[in-house]
Structure 1
Amino acid sequence: MVGYSKDDTMTPNQKIIAGAMSGAVTRFITQPLDVLKIRTQLEKKMSKRKQRTLFETSKKIFHEEGMFAFWHGHNLGQMHSILSTGSQFYVYELTTKYAFQSADDPKYKRTIEFLCGICAGSCSATLVTPLEVIRVRQMLVKEQYRGFFNGAKAVYRSGGPLAFFEGWAAGVLMLGPQVAITFSVFSFLQPIILDYLHKCTEICEQVKFHEHRPEHLLLASSMGALVSGFVSKVIMYPFDLAKRRLQIASHRTENKFYTPTTSRNLVKCSNLIQCISDTVKIEGFLGLYRGLQITVYKALSTNIITFTSYELFCYCLVK
Structure 2
Amino acid sequence: MSGTGEHLKDEGTKTQVVIAGATAGLIARFVIAPLDVVKIRLQLQTHSLTKPPSPGALTTSPKYRGTVSTLKQIFREEGITGLWKGNIPAELMYVSYSAIQFTAYRSITLALQKTVGENKLPSAVESFIAGASAGAVATTATYPLDLLRTRFAAQGTEKIYSSLLSSIQDIAKHEGPRGFFQGLGAGIGQIIPYMGIFFATYESLRLPMGTLHLPFGSGDASAGVIASIIAKTSVFPLDLIRKRLQVQGPTRAKYFHKAIPAYKGVSRTMQHIVREEGVRGLYRGLTVSLVKAAPASAVTMWTYERVLRALLKLESNSSVVL
Under TM normalisation by the shorter chain, which class is it?
0.7 to 0.9
CA drift at 1:146: 2.6
CA drift at 1:4: 3.1
**1:86-125 paired onto structure 2 within 5 Å:** 86-102=99-115, 103-125=117-139
Cα contact 2:85–2:152 (8 A) shared by 1: yes
Secondary structure at the residue paired with 1:4?
A: helix
- Report the counterpart of residue 24 of structure 1 in structure 2: 26
**1:1-319 paired onto structure 2 within 5 Å:** 3-5=8-10, 8=11, 10-46=12-48, 51=62, 52-102=65-115, 103-141=117-155, 143-196=159-212, 215-216=216-217, 219-252=218-251, 262-319=256-313
TM-score by length of 2: 0.85
Cα contact 1:121–1:177 (8 A) shared by 2: no
Cα contact 1:28–1:74 (8 A) shared by 2: yes
Secondary structure at the residue paired with 1:265?
A: coil
Question: Where do 4+ consecutive residues of structure 1 move more than 6 Å?
Answer: none
TM-score by length of 1: 0.86
Question: Which amino acid in structure 2 is aligned with residue 252 of structure 1?
Answer: T
Cα contact 2:38–2:288 (8 A) shared by 1: yes
Structure 2 CA distance for aligned equivalents of residues 267 and 228 of structure 1: 33
Structure 2 CA distance for aligned equivalents of residues 109 and 228 of structure 1: 15
Instruction: Say if 1:175 and 1:251 are closer, same or farther in 2 by CA, change over 3 A.
Output: farther
Structure 1 CA distance for aligned equivalents of residues 222 and 262 of structure 2: 36
Q: Which runs of 5+ in 2 are unaligned?
A: 1-5, 54-59, 314-322
Question: Which amino acid in structure 2 is aligned with residue 110 of structure 1?
Answer: A
CA drift at 1:141: 2.1
Structure 2 CA distance for aligned equivalents of residues 132 and 56 of structure 1: 25
CA drift at 1:35: 0.4
Cα contact 1:114–1:181 (8 A) shared by 2: yes
Instruction: Say if 1:144 and 1:215 are closer, same or farther in 2 by CA, change over 3 A.
Output: closer
Instruction: Say if 1:92 and 1:56 are closer, same or farther in 2 by CA, change over 3 A.
Output: same
Cα contact 2:34–2:71 (8 A) shared by 1: no
Question: Which amino acid in structure 2 is aligned with residue 29 of structure 1?
Answer: V
Among the aligned pairs, what percent are the same residue?
Answer: 26
Instruction: Say if 1:60 and 1:157 are closer, same or farther in 2 by CA, change over 3 A.
Output: farther
Cα contact 2:128–2:200 (8 A) shared by 1: yes
Cα contact 2:40–2:243 (8 A) shared by 1: yes
- Report the counterpart of residue 210 of structure 1 in structure 2: none
Instruction: Say if 1:196 and 1:300 are closer, same or farther in 2 by CA, change over 3 A.
Output: closer
CA drift at 1:3: 4.0
Question: Which amino acid in structure 1 is aligned with residue 288 of structure 2?
Answer: I
Cα contact 2:253–2:259 (8 A) shared by 1: no
Cα contact 1:42–1:267 (8 A) shared by 2: no
Residues 11-69 of structure 1: CA distance to partner in whole angstroms, max 9, x if unpaired? Answer: 01100110001111011111101100001000111568964222332222112211111
Cα contact 1:33–1:294 (8 A) shared by 2: yes
Structure 2 CA distance for aligned equivalents of residues 56 and 105 of structure 1: 50
CA drift at 1:192: 1.0
Instruction: Say if 1:231 and 1:82 are closer, same or farther in 2 by CA, change over 3 A.
Output: same
* CA RMSD across the alignment: 2.2
Number of positions where the alignment pairs a residue of Structure 1 with one of Structure 2: 294
Cα contact 1:76–1:135 (8 A) shared by 2: yes
Structure 1 CA distance for aligned equivalents of residues 209 and 21 of structure 2: 22
Instruction: Say if 1:67 and 1:267 are closer, same or farther in 2 by CA, change over 3 A.
Output: farther
Cα contact 1:226–1:304 (8 A) shared by 2: yes
Instruction: Say if 1:104 and 1:165 are closer, same or farther in 2 by CA, change over 3 A.
Output: same
Cα contact 1:144–1:154 (8 A) shared by 2: no
